[in-house]
Amino acid sequence: MSTRGYNDELHSERSYVEGLYTRLDEERAQTKAKHRAALLGDGGSPMEREFEVRALAKEVKRLDVADNGLCFGRLDSLTGEHSYVGRIGIFDEKDEFEPLLLDWRAPAARPFYVATAVNPENMHRRRQFHTRGRQVVDFTDEILGRPDSDERAGRGDAALLAAVNAPRGDGMRDIVATIQAEQDEIIRLEHPGVLIIEGGPGTGKTVVALHRVAYLLYTQRERMERSGVLVVGPNPAFLKHIDRVLPSLGETNVVFMTTGDLLPGLHVTAEDAPAAARMKGSLQILDVLTAAVADRQRLPEQPVTIELADVTARIDAATAQWARDEARTSGLPHNEARAKFVEIVTWVLTERAIARIGRGWLTRDDREAWEQLRADLLTELADNAAFTAAIDDLWPILAPETLLAQLYSSTDRLRAAGADQSLWRADGEAWTVSDVPLLDELIDLLGRDKSVDEEAERERKREIAYAAAVLDNMVGRADHMDDDDHLFAQDMLYAEDLAERFLERDTRELAERAAADRDWTYRHIVVDEAQELSEMDWRVLMRRCPGRSFTVVGDLAQRRSAAGAVSWGKLMEPYVPGRWVYRSLTVNYRTPAEIMSIAAAVLAEFAPDVVPPESVRASGVAPWSRKVGADDLSNAIEEFVREEADRDGTSIVIGPPGAPGAVPASATKGLEFDAVLVVEPERILAEGPRGAADLYVALTRATQRLGVLHLDVLPQALAGLTENCHSK
C-alpha cells in the first residue's frame, strides 16, 4: 500500500471511529436523561422504579467504560464486507439495528481472534487499530489465507507486543484488543460444569478467566445476573490488582474475596504452620468437628436436682441418655435438636412429678386435672433457673466461634474429639485462613438458634399486624374520601407489602448483598491460584454454587500450601464426576525469555516433570545477581528502589521474612511488575519445597528487569544470572 493510500485509509478509519463515538455520546446522553427521569418519577410501584433506576445506572456505567478503547479493529471478509470490533455493541437504529460495532463477545467477532493464514475463517484481512484517546493514530493489517505483497501485512503481533512491553500500572488491564487464539477458545467455552485452566507464570490464565466471566455474562445474562459471580483470589493485593478488569468490560455484579473472607464478618489473613494447615484442610477434620459437637451433648455424672413448688425432680443419666439419643436421631443440627432434647427431659420430669403429686387422688382418667397439673409444671420448669442451667450444661446452644475456640484451647476437648494436640493454642480465637471453612462447616452442624429466629418471626408478624390495621383504617374511611384521593384496599396489595414500606429497604448493590450473606448462592465462581485451596475450602465454595459452575485457574507447580491440590482429578471428581474439563495455556506473555530461563532452572529442581511456558518475547536485558554483605544489604535495596523510581512502570522487592523493605513471594502471587529485586534467595529456598515454589513465583513476576541480591553462596539453580558488582 502506498503512503497516499495508507493516509487515505487512516483518514477513513478515523472518520468511522469518530462517528462511533458520536453515536456512543448520543446513547449515553439519552440513557442519563432516562435515569434522571426515573429518579424523579412517581409512576409504578417503588420496587418497579428502583429496578428501573438500577438498570439505567448500570447501562450508564457500561457506556462510560466503552470510552476506553471503543473500537480496536476491523474484519474484512472474502466477499468484501467488513465489520468493526470493539468493547461494546453499537447499532444503527435507523437501519433495522444494523451493527455499527460488534461487541467483542459476539459470535461474529470471533474470527478477529482466531483467524489465521492457514484457517482464515472466511476472512481476508484483520486490521488492528492503535489509538490515543478517541483517535486512531495508526493501524496494522494482517492478510489471512493467501498473503499478498502488502508491505504492512504480517504484522499481526504488533498490538500484542506493544501491550506486553508497555509499562505496568497499578492494576491488571483487560486484553479485549489482543486476545490470542488459544485464549479465545477458552474464553468462549460453553462447558456447563467446571473448567480448569492451568498455565505457568505469565500465560494470562487470570485475565482469560475474567474475560470468560464477561463472556458468560454476555451470553447468559438473564441467568447469571440475578445471582452474580464470585471471584476468589489468593490475597487482598491480588484482588486489588484485578478488580478493574470486569468493570472495564462493563460488568459489576461480581464479588471479590479471598478464602479468608468467605464467612461474612470475618477477614482473616494469618496462616497456620504447614502441619496444622494440612490437618485443618483435610476432609478428616469433619470427623473432629462432628465429635467436638457431640462432646458438648453431655450426660450428668450425678443426678441434677430441680426443686419445684410441690416436688423435687431429678435429671439422671438414663433420662439424659434417652433424650440425647432421640435428639441425635432426629437428624437436626445441634441447636435445633436441643428442642427434642428438652422435650424428652421435660416429659420425663413432668410425668414423674405428676405421679408423685397425684399419688392417691389423681388418675389418668381425670384428664382435665392431669393436663392442668402438667401445664402448671411446664410453666414452673420454664421459669426454674436450676432447670435452665442444667439444660444449658447438658445441651448448650453453641456458636461456631465459641465451640472452635474452646476446642483449640483445651487439650481435654481436643482429645475427646480425636484431634491432634498440635491444634492446641492458648488464644482459641486467633483465627487463621484454615479456620474459615471449619467455622463455615460448623454453621451447618450447629444450625440456628431457634429462639432468635422465633423472635425475628414474631417481630415480622407484629409489623404485618400493624400494617394490616393501617390498611383496615384506610379502607374503613373510604366513604369519607374524595374520589381524587380515594384509597382502595386493592391499591395496597397485601399487608406484608405495606409492612415492608415501614422497614428499611435494602438498596445495596447485588455484590454488596451477596458478600454480606453467608447463604447467598452464586451462578458462577472463579477460583484463582486454585492449587492453594484445601479440600475444606472447596466444600465452602461448592455450597456457594449449587449449580457447580466454576472457572478454576491454577498451576500445580506453584503450589506452596501443605493442604493444597496435588491432582485436579482427585479434587474435582467427588463433586462433579465427569463434569469437569481441563485446558492449558502454554505461552508466557509476561516474562521475557532471559528471565524465564532462570526461573525454568529453579522449576526443574523441584518439579522436573513440569514443562515451563514458552516466552513470546525477549527483552534484551540480562537478569543479574550481586553478592553483598549483611551491612550493605539495605543500601543495595535502596539503590534499586531509587533507580526504578526514575523509570516508568512498577517495581517491587521480594524476600524472606525480615528482609528490609521486602514482601514475601506469597503476597505477590498473580501480580506483575516491570522490575523485581529478589533478596536472599538462599533463605527462601531453605524452606524446602514451599520455598522453591516461592522462589519460582518471585522470579517470574518481572516483565522487564530482574535482579538478585544474595548474602551467601548463590544457589546453583541461579547460576545463569549475570554476576554484577552494580545493579542495572
Express each pLDDT in 605-661 by its tens digit.
Answer: 999 999 999 999 999 999 999 999 999 999 999 999 999 999 999 999 999 998 999
Cell numbers for 584: 492449558
Q: What is the pLDDT of residue 150?
A: 46
pLDDT digits (tens, 9 = 90+) for 693-727: 999 999 999 999 999 999 999 999 999 999 876 54
Could you tell me the pLDDT band of residue 396, with boundaries at 50, 70 and 90? very high
Given a cut of 70, whether residue 204 has pLDDT beyond it is: yes
Angle at 459 between CA 456 and CA 460, to 5 degrees: 90
Whole-number Å distance between alpha carbons of 410 and 56: 56
Q: Is a pLDDT exceeding 50 seen at residue 343?
A: yes
pLDDT band, very low/low/confident/very high, at 453 (cuts 50, 70, 90): low
- Alpha-carbon distance 168 to 153, whole Å? 29
Res 531 pLDDT > 70: yes
What's the chain's Rg over C-alpha atoms?
33
Q: Using one digit for the tens of pLDDT, what is the confidence trace for 99-141?
A: 999 999 999 999 999 998 888 999 999 999 999 999 999 999 9
**What is the arithmetic mean of pLDDT over 428-447?**
95
Average pLDDT over residues 228-256: 91
Would you say residue 36 has pLDDT above 70? yes
On the question of pLDDT at 179 being above 60, the answer is: yes
pLDDT, tens digit (0-9, with 9 covering 90-100), for 549-605? 999 999 999 998 999 999 999 999 999 999 999 999 999 999 999 999 999 999 999
551 DSSP β-pair partners: 195, 526
- Note the pLDDT of residue 487: 44
The confidence score (pLDDT) of residue 728 equals 46
What integer pLDDT is reported at residue 168 of this predicted model?
80
Residues 613, 586 contacting (CB under 8 angstroms): yes
Pairing of strands 135-143, 123-132: antiparallel
Q: Give CA 7 to chain center in angstroms.
A: 48
Q: What is the mean pLDDT of residues 472-477?
A: 55
pLDDT band of residue 470 (cuts 50, 70, 90) is low
- With cut-offs at 50, 70 and 90, classify the pLDDT of residue 344: very high
Name the pLDDT band for 362 (thresholds 50, 70, 90). Answer: confident
Choice between 36 and 360, residue whose per-residue pLDDT is larger:
36
Task: List helix spans (H) across 296-425.
Answer: 317-329, 334-357, 367-382, 385-394, 400-408, 411-416
Burial of 47 (0-12, 13-18, 19+ CB in 10 A): exposed
Question: Kind and range of the H or E element at 58?
Answer: helix 46-65
Question: What whole-number distance in Å separates Cα of residue 549 and Cα of residue 531?
Answer: 18
What CA–CA distance (Å, rounded) separates 575 from 577? 6
Q: Is the pLDDT score of 42 beyond 80?
A: no
- Calpha distance 378→349 (Å, rounded): 9
Closest among 152, 144, 217 to 181, alpha carbons compared? 144
Residue (of 602, 591, 584) closest to 691 by Cα position: 602
Cα-based distances in Å from 445 to 262, 292, 293, 713: 17, 10, 8, 53
Q: What is the mean pLDDT of the chain?
A: 88
Of the listed ranges 65-69, 410-414, 479-483, the one predicted with least confidence: 479-483
Bridge partners of 71, per DSSP, are 86
Other CB atoms within 10 A of residue 304 CB: 21
Facing residues of 258 across strands? 233
pLDDT-derived band of residue 53, with 50, 70 and 90 as boundaries? confident
Give the residue with greater pLDDT, 231 vs 498: 231
pLDDT number for residue 501: 47
Q: Supply the pLDDT for residue 226.
A: 86
Strand arrangement of the beta sheet that strand 673-679 belongs to: 651-654, 673-679, 702-710, 624-627, 722-723
pLDDT at 155: 44
